[in-house]
Amino acid sequence: MSSSNDNYYLVNAGAPPERPPLAGDVSTDVCIVGGGIAGSSAALHLAERGYRVTLVEAERVGFGASGRSGAQAIFGYACGQEKLQRQLGAAAARQMWDISVEGLALLHELIARHQIACDYVSGQMHVAIKPRQERELRAEVDDLRQRYDYSSVRYLERDETRRVVASDRYTGALYDSNSGHLQPLKYTRGLAAAAERSGATIFEKSRVVGLELGRDATARSIVRTESGSVAAQYVVLCGNALLGTLVPQLACKIMAVGTYIVATESLGEERARALITNNAAVTDINWILDYFRRSADHRLLFGGRVSYSGLDEFSSAAATRSRMIAVFPQLADVPIAYAWGGYVDITMSRAPHFGRLAPNAYFLQGFSGHGITLTGIAGKLVAEAVAGSAERFDLFAQLQHSDFPGGKLLRRPALVLAMLYYRLRDLL
Q: How confident is the model at residue 417 (pLDDT cuts 50, 70, 90)?
A: very low
Mean pLDDT, the chain, integer: 91
Per-residue model confidence as pLDDT tens digits over 121-173: 999 999 999 999 999 999 999 999 999 999 999 999 999 999 999 999 999 99
**pLDDT of 5:** 64
Sign of CA dihedral 147, 291, 257, 33: negative
Distance CA 336, CA 205 (A): 31
Residue 99 has pLDDT above 90, yes or no: yes
Phi/psi of residue 307, nearest 5 degrees: -115, 115
**3-state DSSP assignment of residue 262:** strand
**Exposed/middle/buried for residue 216 (C-beta within 10 Å: 0-12, 13-18, 19+):** exposed
Judged against a pLDDT cut of 80, whether residue 4 lies above it is answered with: no
What is the rounded average pLDDT of the residues 284-300? 93
Residue 344: per-residue pLDDT: 79
Structure confidence at residue 315 (pLDDT): 52
What number of residues does the chain have?
A: 428
Which of the four CATH numbers 3.30.70.360, 3.40.30.10, 3.50.50.60, 3.10.520.10 does domain 8-411 have? 3.50.50.60
pLDDT of residue 243: 87
Percentage of the chain modeled with pLDDT above 70: 91
* CB-count exposure of residue 154 (10 Å: 0-12, 13-18, 19+): middle
CA 240 to each of CA 65, 277, 345, 372: distance values in angstroms, whole numbers, following the listed order: 9, 35, 6, 14
When comparing pLDDT for 5 and 253, which is higher?
A: 253
Indicate if the pLDDT at residue 1 is higher than 50. no
**What's the rounded Cα separation, in Å, for the pair 162 and 168?**
7
What pLDDT digit, counting tens, does each position of 207-259 carry? 999 999 999 999 999 999 999 999 999 999 999 888 888 998 888 888 877 78
* pLDDT tens by residue, 350-407: 899 999 999 999 999 999 888 999 999 999 999 999 999 999 999 999 999 888 765 5
Spatial distance between the Cα atoms of 207 and 227, rounded to a whole number of angstroms? 9
pTM (global) more than 0.95: no
